[in-house]
Structure 1
Amino acid sequence: MVQCVSKVTPEKIVEVDDVLDKFSIYRVYHLRVMALTMLAFASNTMYCSNYVFAAENVDYRCIEPYNNMSHCASNASACAEWEYDDPNSFVAEFGLACQDWKRTLVGTVHSFGYMVGLLIVGPISDRLGRKPAVVITGVLGGLFGLLRSFSVWYWFYIAMEFLESALGDICSPTYVLTMEIVSAKNKLIFYLYCSLGYSFGGVILAVVAYLVPYWRTFLRVLYTPAFLFFFYTFLLDESPRWLLIRGKKDKAIKILEKAAKNNKKTLDKSTLEKLSCQETKNIKFLAILGETFKSSTLRLRFFVCLVWWTTSTFVNYGMVINSVSLQGNKYVNFALTSLVDIPGNFLITYILIHFNRKLPLITSFVVGALLCLTQPFVPTDMPWLSITVYMVGKLVSSFYFNITYLYTLELFPTYTRNSMHALCSSLGRIGSILAPQTPLLLPIWSGLPSVVFGLTALFAGLVTLLVPDISNDALPDTVREAEALGKSKAAKSQGIHNEGFDSSQL
């Protein structure tokens, strides 16, 4: 068994990035991982957005009123019997006439459950491993989603919606695994291909909704295949980075050798035995997380990342809620909304490859802010221009959302990376909770929501100045390596690089 050595001389250190750098992402091993990841991301899109079709709005009317008072503005109980345009709809089967808040609550509960779930799934991923977290969340998502389809009680449906988003979201651990299984120079392009799964998931969701209009059958068709994620236990490998920082160097080497064999490459055994290994398996999780927050540098980064996430969720969801509904076929429109992300993803990936992280993020925040601040002042007799400015602002907001997702991941050390990413993402969902309230600003001034979005994005752009820039730096494994990000190479080599996690300090 290969032993883990936490401190070795710099001459003998071999970083896992040096080994991963030898692999091409276009060979068998990484192409298989890419395909499995795309399926996971596709399911994430379908599960996060299916309530749009499952709990869609349906017109209804009172056919047996009491005392000629059957309007919802009066009293929902003023009607003895309601007639629904679609008697088999979610609204009709749960009798939600004049209770539209119960229909929209489905989406709100899903967002809240996702916020809570990130605080659960992140630690599970850091403690048990990326692969177990992927399998557990994938299967649980299918279970709770399928149970929803059999619900005969509205509040049971809501409870299952919450549990599915809290315990069954596969996105977070899959994303971290995707970033950790390739070298720093390949992670952007590798994730670009994997992220196409989100767009494919949106298209599949629209097609299934069109072919299977009955909401119960619709949910069963979507969620039953999720049980196949159990087979990821055999099809997917653990992150070598996670194994190394957990002291499981022998298992990490086996995975790297397997990847080399699949890709028809030969790795030097002596090189693998010199892999840098920072063992933390005997340290309590809260103590490790506490070590991250002991660093004033990482505490500042946490605050900045929290601003990024809150702004991204607030502006993105807020602009969707306040935008004018598109005319035409709803299924086609939904599919196109997903497909337009594909060229956008290629564009933002190209920008990140050539312009690092900091400048693109600041630029997208500032440009998005200016577009939001400008939109209310566009002449009302030029609706095409107003819509164009609004939609370009929405596109730019998706740019800084994507950069935020990646940038946050790169700023923290391996042993708390998923937890810190999940914590920032979870608390940042406050933005998506506040976003539905922005229409309340419309009576004050129709342009006020856009102005609020713009000022929020401008503030996020300014606080970005407080974090270091990142290009092709290797992902930091320890607190000291994370603190050294953005510093000169000379500074990194002065006793900082690979000193590891010192459990004696706890």
Structure 2
Amino acid sequence: MSKISDTVHLDDILLKFSVFGRYHAVASVCLTLVNVFEIIAYNNYVFITEEVKYRCVSNSYNESNSSQHNSSVSGDCSADSCAQWVYDDPHSFVAEFYLACQEWKRTLVGSMHSFGCMLGLVIVGPLSDRLGRKTLTVTTCVLGSMLGLVRSFTSSYWLYVALEFLEAVVGDPTSSSFTLCIEMVATEKRVLYTSISGFGYTIGGIMYPLLYWLVPYWRNFLRLAYTPGLLFIFYIYLIDESPRWLLNKGKKEEAVAIIDEAAKTNKMQLEMDLNKISYEEEKGAKFSKVLLDTFKSKSLLLRFFVCSAWWIASTFVYHGLTINSIFLQGNKYVNYGLMYIVDVPVLVAVVFILKRFKRKMPLIFTFVACAVLCVAQPFVPSEHPWLSITVYLSGKLMSSFYLSITYIFTSELFPTSTRNSMHALCSSVGRIGSVIAPQMPLLMAYWSGLPAVIFGLVSLTAGMLTLLVPDTAEDSLPDTVHQAENIGKLDETEL
């Protein structure tokens, strides 16, 4: 059943609020902290399961005469070749779980995390559309923290892997918190507001290697990283549910109460009757039917495939370039942090770029620019290392740009009733890229520049597919499938 009033539109009300007002500022800080927590949790395995050198001490040789083996060398790793292994770092993850000559177990942790994220997104997204953005944000943060802490005490490798997978499934707040963020503000303020909270990813990305540098023992690091996450339980009182989601679920009184309280917090007077707010209600419709209606639409189905391609390219190239940063000369912790420092100008510039040039053209440009830079990088003369690094960082910069745009663009192409589900589903499919990315260095055995060329071709393909979807910059967020289908149409007068 639909209830439509031509008096007041939600975007007209939200437009009255400044993103720097007290209400939205507090919410922004809260959501930024969620992003800080999420990025550290998401990348926890990078340094925890890093390679550690070890040597064999057999029963017939003294340790001083034993040969030294790097964990990347498979020679003398047969079942009966060594009676005892000695690790350079006896307190490392590899040493405590006795993973000498079992490289696949070390790398399996990261793969299981990525697969867990894929599964989790298709679970958390629909639950967020059904139960609420705030509810899932709080739940995933707390569950993720609890599972991370339990992992720090386990002495079983397989239990650790299972907990890593389970945490990725039920402990990732990214999708629900991002959707809550974009639904809290008016159309023209979405980019600015999401970019502000997006600084949490950069802060977390820089904090992660620094914290691990200061607390190198992996069990203590997990406890340090995950204990603060338990405090997210207090978000039950600190943040509100999305008014847009509440209206879509027919909970008008709750939405009006939140908007009214926000106005009081900002000490402002809204010169409009909130009880006459217009909205599209999906009340009574089963979620499966609403999702099926979304896929029945040819235009929305096409958007799903295009958005999935964006996400695959974004995660593949972004994470691929970040992972490969460990091959750069210098301190590995500093190099990893630099990959996230590069994101700072992106978060600032994307606000102005998307406001002036809308969505499609910046996305196409950054995909193509990244493709050119990635393909060119292997051909930079080796006698100019500074130029090679500059091209490398420029490619990473472009990948950061189109990842940021992809986040926003995807959420604007689908209706409120399935927005989080579709955003999560596209992101889940996109995790294929993050699963494949760590394997790309293996191709360097054939040609050192092959990974970069593949990164470029994938970026170029995603850029060309962008031509198939409409621009959303000047449209309000659609609430129904019909409204979503009409995005970008010049003759559409009201969404």
TM-score, with length taken from structure 2: 0.94
What does 1:230-379 correspond to in 2, within 5 Å? Answer: 230-268=233-271, 270=273, 272-323=274-325, 325-379=327-381
The DSSP-based 3-state class of the residue aligned with 2:187 is coil
Q: CA deviation at 1:322?
A: 4.0
- Contact 2:10 2:279 (C-alpha < 8 Å) held by counterparts: no
Tell me, what secondary structure is at the counterpart of 1:376?
helix
Mean alpha-carbon deviation: is it higher for 144-153 or for 390-399?
390-399
- Quick one: which amino acid aligns to residue 470 of structure 1? T
AA aligned to 2:110 is G
- Say whether the 8 Å CA contact 2:4–2:279 is kept in structure 1: no
Partner residue of 2:14 out of 11, 20, 37: 20
Which residue does 2:34 correspond to in 1? 40
Residue of structure 2 equivalent to 1:8: 4
**Distance in 2 between residues matched to 1:437 and 1:148, nearest whole Å:** 25
- Does the 8 A contact of 1:54 with 1:219 survive in 2? no
Tell me the SS of whatever aligns to 1:83. strand
- 1:81 aligns to what? 84
Cα distance, 1:62–1:148 mapped onto 2, change above 3 Å: same
Task: Give the aligned partner of residue 472 of structure 2.
Answer: 470
- Contact 2:2-2:282 within 8 A present in 1 as well: no
Report the Cα distance in structure 2 between the residues aligned to 1:286 and 1:65, rounded to whole angstroms. Answer: 64
Equivalent residue number for residue 438 of structure 1? 440
Distance 1:369 1:332, change over 3 A: closer
Structure 1 Cα separation of the partners of residues 211 and 450 of structure 2:
38
Higher mean C-alpha deviation, range 259-268 or range 323-332? 323-332
Letter in 2 for 1:440: L
Is 1:196 the counterpart of 2:190? The answer is no
CA contact 1:309–1:424 (8 Å) conserved in 2: yes
Count of residues paired in the alignment: 486
For structure 2, list consecutive stretches of 5 or more residues without a partner in the other structure. Answer: none
Structure 2 contact 147–163 (Cα < 8 Å) conserved:
yes
Deviations 1:217-268 (A, max 9, x none): 1101111111111111111100000000000000000000000000011124
| Match in the other structure for 2:120 | 117
Is 1:31 aligned to residue 25 of structure 2?
Answer: yes
Q: Could you tell me how far apart the structure 2 residues matched to 1:432 and 1:220 are? A: 26
Answer yes or no: is the 8 Å Cα contact 1:313–1:432 preserved in 2.
yes
Question: In structure 2, the residue corresponding to 1:392 is in which secondary structure?
Answer: helix
Task: Note closer, same or farther for the CA distance 1:63–1:120 as it changes in structure 2 (3 Å cut).
Answer: same
Partner SS, residue 330 of structure 2: coil
Return closer, same or farther for 1:285/1:431 CA change in 2, 3 Å cut-off: same
Given residue 350 of structure 1, which amino acid in structure 2 is its aligned partner? Answer: F
1:186 pairs with 2:189: yes
SS in 1 for 2:58: strand
Kept in 2, the 8 Å contact 1:247–1:279? The answer is yes
Q: Contact 2:3 / 2:281 at 8 angstroms: preserved in 1?
A: no
Q: How much does 1:189 deviate?
A: 1.1
Return the match for 1:418 from 402, 407, 420: 420
Q: 2:398 aligns with which of 396, 399, 404?
A: 396
For structure 1, which runs of at least 5 residues remain unmatched after alignment? 499-506
Paired with 2:60 and 2:8, the residues of 1 have a C-alpha distance of 80
Q: CA deviation at 1:349?
A: 2.2
Native 8 Å contact 2:32 2:198 kept in 1: yes
Q: Is the 8 A contact 2:359 2:472 kept in 1?
A: yes
Tell me how far apart the structure 2 counterparts of residues 480 and 55 of structure 1 sit (CA, whole Å): 48
1:157 maps onto 2:123 in alignment: no
Partner amino acid, structure 1, of 2:422: M
Structure 1 distance, partners of 2:479, 2:261, is: 23
> Aligned-pair distance for 1:323?
4.6
Match of 1:214 among 213, 217, 227: 217
Identity of counterpart residues, as a percentage?
54
SS class of match (2:376) = helix
1:132 aligns with 2:135: yes
